[in-house]
Structure 1
Amino acid sequence: MLRIAVEEVDIANSGATVADLRRQLAGRGEAAATTFSGGRPVRVAVDRVMRSDACLLNDGCEVAFFPTVTGG
């Protein structure tokens, strides 16, 4: 788990998608790689609407990742 509440990220290319952002974030080390490309489902919202990895990211958009939560 990364435990990052808020962070501003610059994405190098225009036309970037959520999948591009996941790949960029996964390159930040072992914990990030496990979170974003480790095969665990992580849902995503863009501007407070649930989206898929194909969603295009606009300048200034808000992206939130939600890990799977288990409970009983």
Structure 2
Amino acid sequence: MRQAALAEGSTGNLLWLSVAERARSRRRWRDPGRDEFFVPTPESLKWLDSVTLPMILTAAAVALFTKLLITIPLY
């Protein structure tokens, strides 16, 4: 049908066909699962239970930094 509109040379028919095609695509059923923002992932949550070396080093660095701030006189 689009080829016939192109061969005819009428842009009005071609425009009407594109509008009708968009209306058809809008009426199609959409999967609501496709619109979900958060997708559940099958990852393990075991890493939340274990303390890792970077966590320990960060805690030690924060403790050392606060100790330095407390010991330096600010007068």
TM-score (norm 1): 0.21
> Which protein shows a greater Rg?
2
Q: In proportion to residue count, which structure has more strand?
A: 1
TM-score (norm 2): 0.21
Q: In proportion to residue count, which structure has more helix?
A: 2
